[in-house]
Structure 1
């Protein structure tokens, strides 16, 4: 049964997020109009975010009700009220059991389990402060997503996937900047390897995404200035994602919540934020509101009317992203963060390979070498984590043996 569950989780994570990646890349290129004579790009990233966050909110809520315990109240179900436990009443620390969270198809892992004695948690638990933390994460996610989508107009999708695989860099940076945390020496080696690999991938690349002629140099390729814009957008996306992950780590450290509860609230707030912004008559704002006139919602609906083929990609993007998150949390709950890190690491590699095959990208030997350096660096991080967890388990087994002898 255990192997069957693990197999289902692996298949679920792979299938959902590989399909999600295909839909995301498809949404970044032009769609044919209904008359078949013209084509245009979908320029409503906040509407995309609304579709996915709304579906994720619904999925998380359904999941929570399915797994609801007998006698559990609605506030307890949604993580706004502490649930007394036997171990807590006996003075034993209760672990939140959460070490990971995922949003817009992307995985964040804090790699720690935090102890929460009920008495201490009750003293500092505040639903209002918890909801404000969730809102903070939602603001970060809403701000980051458009930059990631805009970067696809300046860099290829394989470069985007490789960059998104390197979240350790901005996560470390934002943890140090916001919460003054320190990291082990090997993490800085990993950061150096990742940075070197990304530099190799971008430096040896020849393929450029199609852009208007004004952005191209005399050889018909994108100028270095244009590529720098794409890298800047990607960096902003990663930095804000790093701030999101750092805040999620802080939530798990301070509050007794589960990943599904966090998934529900952050996606709920994200839906409210993006929906509210979508109906505001904002002026043209690069990246955040690229429509020249009207509201974001109006522009999205007009585009759907003129380019109906976009509906299938939007539905695939929202549906697979939402289900993918549930498979992520199911894996975390039953097999732990190390198994999840291994699955998501290899999934990103296959995402890049699938993009190369499906959309016929051309990578140079130097780019393959750069990708290898990046994934080698991330693999070092996963190996060290596995080693640390194994050492902790050995210590725990020894402690249990001592208790039995007593």
Structure 2
């Protein structure tokens, strides 16, 4: 361990302790209510709150469907008009533009905030950036639920807290990593998510994977290793220590992010919530967790003062939050309309464009070994997409 890593671990521990002041009482309350189910009937004025937060909503019977089944209400078949090729193409182009613009802009602004100064001062509080992202996404999701009512989710509200913790920590790690490694290194490392996702899927859902997934993971690790090792400055121990700290943080990011996707998948399957409801539940807890951490660590007001004192920083935070919220909406819409395969292709292009854009704007140097690593990574991604498309279809 070095001083840089020790400092990051200390900050990480403080965040966990701050989160526990909210989550520990919540889970004790959940356990108590589940062991005393009569509380719902005893305290009728709290029944709605207890059920939605801890026990989950009751199944709501569709009376119209019931009357149809009983033959008391006629129902006319609704024919869905197939979309024309032009309409489908317009939707696809809209999704591609929306995802590329929102996340490319988000990446550029993220790197600007974490690696450059504002009037001679550097902003270092990653937790505050996570907070401003989550609070805006919360309002966007809440607004959509208000103006476009959906079926009440069956999931207890506290279930969203698990994925919220991992989502908040993964975002925090992502910002922290930029203090120690270059943005291209961070982006390329994200392509290794398949490895921890596979491991976490095995632990959480006991999933099995085809042989080519393991080959993909190995090739991907090789490509990223070539890139990261090439980016480390030889002969400078300080640079090596910084790179090591960055790698540790990236591993933390990949671990938390893989748990997030797997736990969300379980909630989708078990409780049939919509993507907007998921977005609202996760961002609700994330906003609470981050603001509690900021208050307990006594950095909320100093971060707000920095925000007010630096107009450019405030503008960048606003753009960052808007891009994050809009990007989430485009992710949900793209997967719903075109499926995960097309979404993967679009986001793979985004990663390549992010590296290119970062190198142009912030003048990152990439040598021959780094270029070879990038080619290996995206070649492995292409191999995986080919296998997902054709091998699975044949089987």
Instruction: Quickly name the TM-score band, shorter chain normalised.
Output: 0.7 to 0.9
Residue aligning to 1:41: 122
Q: Aligned equivalents of 2:180 and 2:125: distance in 1?
A: 17
Query: Within 5 A, what are the aligned runs for 1:87-106?
Result: none
Residue aligning to 2:11: none
Moved over 6 A (4+): none
Q: Aligned equivalents of 1:334 and 1:189: distance in 2?
A: 30
Q: Does 1:174 align with 2:255?
A: no
Residue aligning to 2:252: 236
Q: Aligned equivalents of 2:389 and 2:177: distance in 1?
A: 34
- For residues 343-376 of structure 1, the C-alpha deviation after alignment (integer angstroms, 9 at most, x for no partner) is 1111111111111111111111110110111112
Residue aligning to 1:193: 219
Moved more, 321-330 or 299-308: 299-308
Q: Aligned equivalents of 2:171 and 2:362: distance in 1?
A: 22
Residue aligning to 2:272: 256
Match of 1:349 among 349, 352, 361: 352
TM-score by length of 2: 0.74
RMSD: 2.0
List alignment gaps of at least 5 residues for structure 2.
Answer: 1-86
Asked whether the 8 Å contact 1:59–1:326 carries over to 2, the reply is no
- CA 1:365 to 1:234, structure 2 compared with 1: closer, same or farther past 3 Å? same
Q: Aligned equivalents of 2:239 and 2:327: distance in 1?
A: 37
Q: Aligned equivalents of 1:306 and 1:160: distance in 2?
A: 30
Q: Does 1:226 align with 2:242?
A: yes
Q: Does 1:327 align with 2:343?
A: no
Residue aligning to 1:274: 290
Shift of 1:304: 2.2
Q: Aligned equivalents of 2:327 and 2:288: distance in 1?
A: 21
Residue aligning to 2:176: 150
Residue aligning to 1:365: 368
Residue aligning to 1:19: 105
List alignment gaps of at least 5 residues for structure 1.
Answer: 34-38, 82-126, 209-216, 283-294, 393-406
Residue aligning to 2:10: none
Asked whether the 8 Å contact 1:141–1:241 carries over to 2, the reply is yes
Q: Aligned equivalents of 1:309 and 1:158: distance in 2?
A: 24
Moved more, 295-304 or 231-240: 295-304
Asked whether the 8 Å contact 2:191–2:220 carries over to 1, the reply is no
Shift of 1:311: 0.8
Shift of 1:342: 1.0
Q: Aligned equivalents of 1:267 and 1:305: distance in 2?
A: 24
Residue aligning to 2:62: none
Residue aligning to 1:116: none
Query: Within 5 A, what are the aligned runs for 1:60-79?
Result: 60-68=141-149, 76=151, 79=152
Query: Which entry has the higher C-alpha Rg, 1 or 2?
Result: 2
Aligned partner of residue 166 in structure 1, secondary structure: helix
Shift of 1:67: 4.5
Asked whether the 8 Å contact 1:21–1:351 carries over to 2, the reply is yes
Asked whether the 8 Å contact 1:31–1:309 carries over to 2, the reply is no
Q: Aligned equivalents of 1:151 and 1:52: distance in 2?
A: 17
User: What is the aligned residue count?
Assistant: 309
- For residues 262-314 of structure 1, the C-alpha deviation after alignment (integer angstroms, 9 at most, x for no partner) is 1111111111111222111x3xxxxxxxxxxxx12122123224433211111
Aligned partner of residue 41 in structure 1, secondary structure: coil
